[in-house]
Chains A and B, each alone.
Chain A
């Protein structure tokens, strides 16, 4: 059974760095073809893909946010971490992690999401 769960602060201040952790089970990110992505959704708005990390540690980023994002594996082998620097109120959103199996960006399993509010 594949599950993913996001964890991290619910509230961050403007200019701070957000660190979110995705803890997953039911698959291994070491397996060929496995990938994990982060996607966010501002309240009442559409989904926006942020970043992807692959089984071989290749990493890909949304071009408009690339300078602010870092995706990495760990600290445990069933975790993926997303860091986003210089947070702004417009970054207030529910942040999801999702699995990709095989295809490049088809998200077949999603976490429940973590709401992050940016406010002073």
Chain B
């Protein structure tokens, strides 16, 4: 099975900060990576797929990069609505999620 590891587990940041979350795969997954945003008590929401493609309606301050085994999600200028937990997910073979990164207010 493909394992996904995110870092950091928690990230404290202020509005306007540039934020980067890293996701590592235990084997080469090409570009088959998605990112989701989840707020407390809510279902996850798709943010990015194929490593760098923004889903419809996602603000351009979000961006994704990487391939193979290392990927990043960047928020260029953190907004109040962005405080949430972010999960990466590989879909090279079935689906596996990372353990999540909580972005909290500094």
Check B105 for interface membership: any CB of A closer than 8 A: no
State the Cβ distance, A98 to closest chain B Cβ, in Å: 8
State the Cβ distance, B5 to closest chain A Cβ, in Å: 11
Known A-B contacts A46-B87, A47-B87, A106-B34; the reply to A112 vs B94 at CB < 8 A is: no
Please indicate the chain A residues that have their CB under 8 angstroms from the CB of B98 in the complex: 46
Most chain-B CB neighbours within 10 Å: which of A39, A62, A103, A106?
A106
Do A106 and B100 have beta carbons less than 8 Å apart? no
Write the B78-106 contact mask toward A (1 if CB under 8 angstroms, else 0). 00000000010101001111111000000
Please indicate the chain A residues that have their CB under 8 angstroms from the CB of B96 in the complex: 49
State the Cβ distance, A67 to closest chain B Cβ, in Å: 16
Please indicate the chain A residues that have their CB under 8 angstroms from the CB of B95 in the complex: 37, 39, 49, 105
Do B99 and A46 have beta carbons less than 8 Å apart? yes
Do A106 and B97 have beta carbons less than 8 Å apart? no
Chain A interface secondary structure, helix, strand, loop or mixed? loop
Task: Tell me how many residues of B have a C-beta within 8 Å of chain A.
Answer: 22
Check A107 for interface membership: any CB of B closer than 8 A: yes
Q: How far is the CA of A28 from the CA of B46 in the complex (A)?
A: 20
A window 8-38: CB within 8 A of B:
37
Please indicate the chain A residues that have their CB under 8 angstroms from the CB of B66 in the complex: none
Q: How far is the CA of A49 from the CA of B44 in the complex (A)?
A: 13
State the Cβ distance, B92 to closest chain A Cβ, in Å: 9
Do B91 and A106 have beta carbons less than 8 Å apart? yes
Check A63 for interface membership: any CB of B closer than 8 A: yes
Q: How far is the CA of A64 from the CA of B32 in the complex (A)?
A: 22
Partner of A106, one of B43, B49, B99: B49
Who on chain A is nearest to B49 by CB? A106
State the Cβ distance, B25 to closest chain A Cβ, in Å: 14
Q: Which residues from chain A sit less than 8 Å from chain B, CB to CB?
A: 37, 39, 46-49, 60, 62-64, 96, 98, 103-108, 110-113
Q: Which residues from chain B sit less than 8 Å from chain A, CB to CB?
A: 1, 32, 34, 36, 42-46, 49-50, 55, 87, 89, 91, 94-100
Closest 10 CB pairs of A and B: A105-B91, A110-B43, A49-B95, A105-B95, A47-B97, A106-B49, A46-B99, A108-B46, A46-B97, A104-B91
